[in-house]
Structure 1
Amino acid sequence: MNGLVERNTRFMGCSDSYEQSAVVITGVPMDFTVSFRPGSRFGPQEIRQVSFGLEEYSYYLNRDLRDFTFFDYGDLILPYGNIKECLKRIGQVAEKLFSEGKFPLVLGGEHLISLPFIEKAAAFYPGLALIHLDAHADLREDYMGEVYSHATVIRRAVEAVGGRNVYQFGIRSGDGSEFAYARKETNFYPDEVIGPLKKILQQLGDRPVYVTMDIDVVDPAYAPGTGTAEPGGITSREALQVIHLLGQTRVIGFDLVEVSPPYDATQRTSLLAAKLVREIILSFGGK
């Protein structure tokens, strides 16, 4: 990993031992395909910085970060504007983590950074299910002529894992053609999260699951710091409930994307993201 990452601020309570850690946090500060407001490249560092305002202990789970060993790799070094090279480097890191049996906890960055992790997860875990939590469908074939975009990432993911293995929750925005495609090709639960998620998790059983969560699945009243805010989302409490529900299944990797600090002077979006990260570690770090 030398030359691929740089370590600045680390998430609270992280270990210095990569080898002994089950969960590995990796920041991917890329945001140059966003369709509205850039700034999510600053998300990974901001999430780490505000994490020190939280407790290590989770009363929801009665678990403490100090009892878990997890590692923070730092942020990937990416060539700005070179999409193919960025995806290649992200893929190299994803392959290393999965091949060494780690649980990648990825901090974006825009949503396109999820694609290499999804593709590598599918390669290492046959029968993979993809859970997608988002305000937007992200199912366009292309966006302004570009097939690689944060607006196309789940369409590319469908090509990697198959539409019947993709489960989409909370979607409340997109082009009409995306909604038509989703209803035909994926397991599509627009505008809802908790109810249908409970039912799907019972069906998934012991299948390996990769989760990609765009912070804008949360209503901008609770998480305004994102590039394409969309009213009508879930609450911060429901976002935490999602993590705890997912703790009942075999999640093998998780990314949290599109936190964009410039649009939230209160830092409540980053604080929510940091709390979600804590709950993810405590939910999956011991498996």
Structure 2
Amino acid sequence: MEKNIHTFIGCDNDYDESKIVIFGAPFDSTTSYRPGTRFASSAMRNESFGIETYSPYQDKDLMDIKVFDGGDLELCFGSPESALKDIEEFSSEILKDHKLPVMIGGEHLVTLGAVRAAVKKHPDLCIIHFDAHADLRDDYLGQKLSHACVMRRCHELVGDGRIFQFGIRSGDREEFIWGKKHVSTNKFNFTGLEKIKDKIKNKPVYFTLDLDVLDPSCFPGTGTPEAGGVNFTELMLAIQFVSTLNVIGLDVNELSPALDQSGASTALACKLLREILLYFYKEN
């Protein structure tokens, strides 16, 4: 891989020396309400230079770790399956090299491509899912590959008892009925998050963060805002806990920069990504 010139702040290291690889998946063709998440990764790179590389939360600095920015994938906008295939192949290459893939969406469907790659290498994969929406529909308007169905498709890969959802506060009745039998869903907040450590133990974990888990009062720049979400501090503490698990891949998705003209949502996403990179960076 060659170095991407347009990088997130502090992430301009060489591929071979880096332990984390970030990349963008600019895809939003199945978005069910307001589109625009395809512009998230580019906007975050641009706006990242408005924050510091140093984290006062962790007393760590991006300049002290090795992160490679692989740029944005060139995804076929009209074909979800083609886009997922490209994401899967790119994620597989990173996993093969024993590095941590960190994907910037894009709509939430992009997670499926990364999970397909992860489960091939780790058949006992578990998934931790932060979101406002259950995403457990079997189809949305007849389409099985939709951001509204992504966790249902992931369940088909990992099976019962392997998906742990938090912050969920939206979905149709059938999603919640089906979910009670097949996944673990904690509504509204992160209560019970620490209890899953005994269930997961040291199994490999894929972590997917839909930013609309945040309340729209602090994060309006998303396509499907849902009132009643968590705040930034609550989310940070939850991410800190997840970083203590055996996370082998993760993504951050559903920022739609143009829907918040103030730029505050993009700035929040940048700060959150900085903290994620520092939390999940492991020397060994």
Q: Name the TM tier (shorter chain).
A: over 0.9
Which residue number corresponds to residue 57 of structure 1? Answer: 54
Q: Secondary structure at the match of 1:111?
A: coil
Moved more, 96-105 or 199-208: 199-208
Which residue number corresponds to residue 246 of structure 2? Answer: 250
Letter of the 1:178 counterpart: E
Which of residues 213, 216, 221 in structure 1 aligns to 2:217? 221
The alpha carbon displacement at 1:244 in A equals 1.1
Which residue number corresponds to residue 159 of structure 1? Answer: 156
Which residue number corresponds to residue 86 of structure 1? Answer: 83
Contact 1:217/1:233, CA 8 A, preserved across alignment:
yes
Letter of the 2:195 counterpart: K
Task: Give the number of equivalent residue pairs.
Answer: 283
- 1:132-152 CA-partner distances (Å, limit 9, x unpaired): 100000000001111100000
Which residue number corresponds to residue 39 of structure 1? Answer: 36
Contact 1:219/1:230, CA 8 A, preserved across alignment:
yes
The alpha carbon displacement at 1:16 in A equals 3.4
**Residue 23 in 1 paired to residue 20 in 2?**
yes
The alpha carbon displacement at 1:23 in A equals 0.5
Which of residues 123, 130, 133 in structure 2 aligns to 1:136? 133
Which residue number corresponds to residue 181 of structure 1? Answer: 178
Aligned equivalents of 1:247, 1:153: Cα separation in 2: 23
Which of residues 278, 282, 286 in structure 1 aligns to 2:278? 282
The alpha carbon displacement at 1:15 in A equals 2.6
**Residue 261 in 1 paired to residue 257 in 2?**
yes
Aligned equivalents of 2:44, 2:5: Cα separation in 1: 12
| Structure 2 residue runs without a partner (length 5+) | none
Letter of the 2:68 counterpart: F
Which residue number corresponds to residue 124 of structure 2? Answer: 127
Aligned equivalents of 2:195, 2:266: Cα separation in 1: 30
| Structure 1 residue runs without a partner (length 5+) | none
Letter of the 2:71 counterpart: G
Moved more, 222-231 or 184-193: 184-193
Which residue number corresponds to residue 146 of structure 1? Answer: 143
Aligned equivalents of 1:186, 1:113: Cα separation in 2: 20
Contact 1:167/1:188, CA 8 A, preserved across alignment:
yes
- 1:240-281 CA-partner distances (Å, limit 9, x unpaired): 112211122111111000000111011121111111111111
Which runs of 4 or more aligned residues in structure 1 lie more than 4 Å from their structure 2 counterparts after TM superposition?
A: none
Q: Secondary structure at the match of 2:109?
A: helix
The alpha carbon displacement at 1:233 in A equals 0.3
Task: State the superposition RMSD in angstroms.
Answer: 1.5
The alpha carbon displacement at 1:7 in A equals 4.4
Q: Secondary structure at the match of 2:175?
A: helix
TM-score (norm 1): 0.95
Identical aligned pairs, as a percentage?
43
Letter of the 1:276 counterpart: L
Contact 1:119/1:161, CA 8 A, preserved across alignment:
no
Q: Secondary structure at the match of 1:126?
A: coil
Which of residues 65, 68, 71 in structure 2 aligns to 1:74? 71
